[in-house]
Structure 1
Amino acid sequence: MDELQRIDVNQLVTLHALLTEKHVTRAAVRLHKSQPAVSHTLGQLRTYFGDPLLVRHGGRMALTARAQALVQPLEDALTSLNDLLSASDFEPARTRRRFRISMSDYAAHIVLPPLVRHVRRHAPGLDLAISQASREAMLAQLQDGELDLALGIFPHLPDDIEIQDLYREEFVCLADKAVLPAKGGLSFEEWLERPHISLTLRPDANDEIEKALAARGLRRHLAVTLPHWSAAADLLPGTDLLLTIASRAVGPMRRYKTLRKFTPPLELPRPAYQQAWHIRRAGDPAHRWLRRAVVTCSQPSGPNAATTGAGA
């Protein structure tokens, strides 16, 4: 306890910002403090730890070995302290927080509308900032603290990222009725010969469909590659294109009067759609509430069946 009397929590928060940003000015912006104030605290911290903590290397600031060793213990300590201070009085209806969530427009169509309704009903002071990124970028942003939550499919995870399955998806095919047989769908050979629409954030990315074909030594002709799930089906009328898409993204077929839905003529995985977060957020009561809300709103009934209130 004597050591704690020599350093206060504000200094530890500043140290965390300095170790994260590796830059005095950026740490000051992060903390909403002046640069001289952060520089002064850095001087105090250097004296306390008997180490420069940040040193210039190759034109950039880098952590010393002592500073590097402090990163995880400091992260754990501040997270535990935050949980301790917030756990006793957490009430969704009184929460004033802003959560940064990354998702594709697929999730923005499926999960976000019921989630927003749920949040507005139970925690109207909770703000949601939505962004979109690739899987790799989302995981990096979770690790860097730039995101609080990410929705997607994450087959490969760093050790410090936790996930929860929300539901399992299955694929369906869509095409203009005019370019399909009078009944049914297509054989695998016919399907493979057709030009396809591919949904991916990066034109060179391999999704679950490409991986299933690659396992058989095959490729399909990707005539159009785009990241916009909501626009994909609108490209089909009047063309010979095929679209293989997650079933929940399609919705009722009555809105696609000139299209037909059929089962893909090849075995495809049923991937689990997931939410992911950094372990530093795991014990945060507000974050736990948000994760439960996402689970509730990912079900077909959405928030209509939601009972998540103050005790959730």
Structure 2
Amino acid sequence: MNLRSIDLNLLVVLDALLAERSVRRAGERIGLSQSATSHALERLRKLLSDDLLVRAASGMEPTPRALALAAPLRVALQGIETALAPHRFDPAEARDTFVLAVETYETIVLLPGLVDEMRREAPHATLTVRSGSTEEILAGLDGGRVDVAIGVLKGLPDRFMTCGLLADGHACAMRQDHPLAQAPLTLEQYLAAPHLRVSMTGDGANAVDAALAARGLRRKVTMQLPHGLAAVVALSRSDLVASVTRGAALGFAAVAPLAVLDLPFDVPRTEFRLAWNRRFNDSPAHVWLRRRLVAIGALAGG
């Protein structure tokens, strides 16, 4: 296909349509009316000889051809945007939308500081936080849908860059009037208690379970939840106990009447890393965001 014969603005419309799965929302995203966006979609269908998006019960769904185009199109457009953007970043004037992907509830330790930094330095910028598995997060970094990621991210392919963010120990959280909250926790009491496990990715065992398994032990997990807020509510209203990183436990206790106790066994500190796509390493906006997160992590985790 001869690029000189293509209105490249149509590719911007296609990128928005694939992201929003709605003609109206795609138009709002790029500043076009709904009728103009519909007209552009018809031109794209003729150009590519494919329906691209078809109506379904859940909205508009992409065809296989459209799905195959989505990631390379986003990468190409983001590359153009990066190339044409001024080589400077003024946070006070920035209208950027930063997308942060996380695979761990430990983000509760970092987000308050990041919110404060953005309010102070980048009041017009927008922050979106998403959760997902490692595979989903890396796909987002590849496709340009995610700026930076936080998690236990090890052994990543060379196209990703990482740096240490924070390291944290573990503690046990429970309601303040819990029968076990008034004295040091024994291993016997710990193993007999009903446990709440927090997992944003839905995975099972974590560092605490691994440390117990090394001793030939296993805790009784009776509930698993995906988010810290849900865990706080559950702990406040039950006899459940939760073994989480100490920073997260203290964060939970700051917003609810919870006690934080030392675990009756050793668990190695968990190291959390910051990751980003190598092609955005020199982006001034990305550099600003990464530096703020690293500074916040240093204060939070030591």
The 8 Å contact of residues 229 and 249 in structure 1, kept in 2 or not, is answered as no
CA deviation string 1:182-225 (max 9, x = no partner)? 7x6524x5532333343345888443323554577653123555
Tell me what 1:112 maps to.
111
CA distance in 1 between partners of 2:217 and 2:31 (Å): 54
Whether the 8 Å CA contact 1:142–1:278 is kept in 2: the answer is no
Counterpart-to-counterpart distance in 2, 1:58 and 1:301? 46
Q: How does 1:195-206 map to 2 (within 5 A)?
A: 195-201=194-200, 205-206=204-205
SS at match of 1:41: helix
Query: How far off is 1:174 after superposition?
Result: 5.4
Q: Say yes or no: does 1:82 pair with 2:81.
A: yes
Tell which structure's C-alpha radius of gyration is larger.
1
Question: Does the 8 Å CA contact 1:196/1:242 hold for their aligned counterparts?
Answer: yes
Match status 1:262 vs 2:265:
no
Contact kept, 8 Å, 2:172 with 2:249, in 1: the verdict is no
**SS of equivalent residue, structure 2 residue 89:** coil
C-alpha contact (below 8 Å) 2:88/2:284 kept by paired residues:
no
Q: Distance in 1 between matches of 2:106 and 2:19?
A: 32
Deviates more, 1:113-122 or 1:254-263: 254-263
Work out whether residues 105 and 198 of structure 2, in 8 Å CA contact, stay in contact via their aligned partners in 1. Answer: no
- Aligned partners of 1:34 and 1:283: how far apart in 2? 35
8 Å CA contact 1:106–1:229 kept in 2: the answer is: no
- Match of 2:39? 40
CA spacing shift, 1:283–1:46, aligned 2, 3 Å: farther
| Corresponding position of 2:228 | 228
| TM score, norm. by length of structure 2 | 0.68
Alpha-carbon distance in structure 2 between the residues aligned to 1:44 and 1:292: 43
Q: Distance in 2 between matches of 1:240 and 1:149?
A: 37
SS in 2 for 1:286: helix
Q: Post-superposition shift, 1:179?
A: 4.1
Unaligned runs of 5+ in 2: none
Gapped runs of 5+ residues in structure 1? Answer: 303-312
Counterpart residue number, 1:142: 140
Whole-angstrom distance in 1 between the partners of 2:74 and 2:257: 54
Report deviation, 1:230.
9.2
Report the secondary structure of 2:36's partner residue: helix
- Partners of 1:100 and 1:243 lie apart in 2 by 29
Contact in 1 for aligned 2:91/2:121 (Cα 8 Å): yes
Change in CA separation of 1:261 and 1:58 when aligned onto 2, cut-off 3 Å = closer
| 1:13-58 CA distance string (max 9 Å, x none) | 1232345556656644543433442343344445555x33627699
**Residue type of the alignment partner of 1:75:** R
Aligned AA for 1:208? A
What is the CA-CA distance between 1:79 and the residue it aligns to? 1.5
Distance 1:245 1:153, change over 3 A: same
Match of 1:52 in 2: 50
Q: Which amino acid aligns with 2:137?
A: L
1:246-298 Cα shifts (integer Å, max 9, x gaps)? 1223449x9899957334415x3432223455677656432332122111111
Structure 2 distance, partners of 1:221, 1:40, is 58
The 3-state SS of whatever aligns with 2:299 is: coil
AA paired with 1:246? T
AA at the equivalent of 1:126: A
Is residue 95 of structure 1 aligned with residue 94 of structure 2? Answer: yes
Following TM superposition, by how much is the alpha carbon of 1:157 offset from its aligned partner in structure 2, in angstroms?
7.1
Whether the 8 Å contact between 2:78 and 2:144 is mirrored in structure 1 is no
**Secondary structure, counterpart of 2:195 in structure 1:** strand
1:159/1:63 CA distance change after superposition, 3 Å: farther
- 1:126-205 map, 5 Å: 126-130=125-129, 133-135=131-133, 139=137, 142=140, 148-154=147-153, 164-173=163-172, 179=180, 185-187=185-187, 189-201=188-200, 205=204
CA distance, structure 2, for counterparts of residue 17 and residue 47 of structure 1: 18
How far did 1:169 drift?
Answer: 1.9
1:296 aligns with 2:295: yes
Counterpart-to-counterpart distance in 2, 1:292 and 1:150: 13
